Amino acid sequence: MLNTFHLRTFLAVVDTGNYSAAAAALHMTQPAVSQQIRALEEQLGDIRLFRRVGQRMVLTHAGEELLVSARELVRLAERAEETLMALKGQVAGRVVLGCTSGGGERLLARLLAGFHEQFPGVGLELEIASPEALLDGLADRSLNLALLQELQRRRGLESTLLATEPLILAAPAGHPVLKQEQLPPAALCEYPLILPRSGTALRRAIEDLLRRRGVTLTELRPCLETDSATAQLQAVRAGLGLAFMPRSCAPARGEGVGHVDLASGPLEVNWFLVRVRERSGPGPTQSLFNFLTGPPGRAIIARAGLQPSSGEAEGQPPAVRADGA
């Protein structure tokens, strides 16, 4: 019978790309990882599961055949452990979350700190990736939850409004726009702008909001496009241009960057918590979902300067399914 510890090691190598990174992720030594993989290969009849290509370990055909079954077997083992722990009134296990690099990781860091304090037995893993990769991760169950900036209509998924966040217009210290109490939206065409990449959810949201305020998008002057909030901030500090960024990513005034409001009111984006609609009973994923969407999560969101979802009578915000229900 296959050993789930061997399978977890196998999946760690697949996900990280080499033995040393897998060892770090599993808090093991590299020789121990090698031994686990070798033991699994021997148990399967001395069949090779990986081949080395440069610095990476790439799956052989046999390894690819094992991959889907390994993920399912590990999930079943984890679900059994979680069910038994729940019977004892304990919440334990592991939850894998995903978000984009446009500010979601900063908000999640605060939320996960609060969750860990209440549920120390739950291990957490955060993956930063594109929205498309996160949705694929939800579909193949390698992700449990994802924080995204757009309502998702993909079949089988459920989106729950978590928070609404204002976007600030950041400018380098001493920039002329910082002398104004409010900046007319049309004035944005006069300055180079640092924007999210074209086609991303945040870029679409910014363009849609500006369009509704009468700004002609073809007159904007993008000088840099990046989804990294850190890169945006550093570019603003360097004087490259002005940038719209989530308030949770904004530095304190006096740190080389200031910000100004638009005359027609703030720009805002929504954060949605997305998960697969079909789910089992109580477990670490459900506990995390309840924490994020319930009173504890809403309190943390409010302290971060965002507007939390108001929720319904029982403390849960409404969910929107891909089929519109």
Domain 93-325, CATH number (from 3.40.190.290, 3.40.1160.10, 3.90.79.10, 3.30.70.2740)? 3.40.190.290
DSSP letter for each residue of 16-68: HSSHHHHHHHHT--HHHHHHHHHHHHHHTTS---EEEETTEEEE-HHHHHHHH
Q: Taking residues 77-81, what's their average pLDDT? A: 71
What are the C-alpha distances in Å from 48 to residues 23, 64, 170, 221, 260? 19, 11, 53, 54, 59
Cβ–Cβ under 8 Å, residues 94 and 82: no
Determine the distance from the C-alpha atom of residue 28 to the mean position of all C-alpha atoms in its chain, rounded to a whole number: 26
pLDDT of residue 2: 81
Please tell me the least confidently modeled range out of 37-51, 161-175, 237-251. Answer: 237-251
**Given a cut of 90, is residue 181 above it in pLDDT?**
no
Q: Taking residues 1-21, what's their average pLDDT? A: 88
Q: Alpha-carbon distance 225 to 241, whole Å?
A: 11
With CA atoms as reference, report the closest residue to 82 among 274, 275, 286: 286
pLDDT of residue 62: 93
Going by pLDDT thresholds of 50, 70 and 90, the confidence category of residue 39 is: very high
- Burial class of 28 by CB neighbour count within 10 A (0 to 12, 13 to 18, 19+): middle
**Given a cut of 60, is residue 73 above it in pLDDT?**
yes
pLDDT of residue 323: 47
**Given a cut of 70, is residue 301 above it in pLDDT?**
yes
Can you give the residue ranges of every domain in the chain? 4-73, 93-325
Condensed to tens digits (0 to 9), the pLDDT of residues 201-255 reads 888 888 888 888 888 888 899 999 998 888 898 999 999 999 988 877 777 666 7
pLDDT of residue 163: 92
Q: Alpha-carbon distance 317 to 162, whole Å?
A: 8
Q: Alpha-carbon distance 325 to 96, whole Å?
A: 26
Dig out the tokens for 211 from the structure: 């369009």
User: Across the strands, what pairs with 257?
Assistant: 172
pTM value surpassing 0.85: no
pLDDT of residue 87: 52
Cβ–Cβ under 8 Å, residues 279 and 138: no
**Given a cut of 60, is residue 306 above it in pLDDT?**
yes
Domain 4-73, CATH number (from 1.10.1750.10, 1.10.10.10, 3.30.70.2610, 1.20.120.160)? 1.10.10.10
Condensed to tens digits (0 to 9), the pLDDT of residues 118-150 reads 888 888 988 888 888 899 889 888 889 999 988
Going by pLDDT thresholds of 50, 70 and 90, the confidence category of residue 315 is: very low
Q: What is the mean pLDDT of the chain?
A: 84
Q: Taking residues 291-303, what's their average pLDDT? A: 91
pLDDT of residue 225: 93
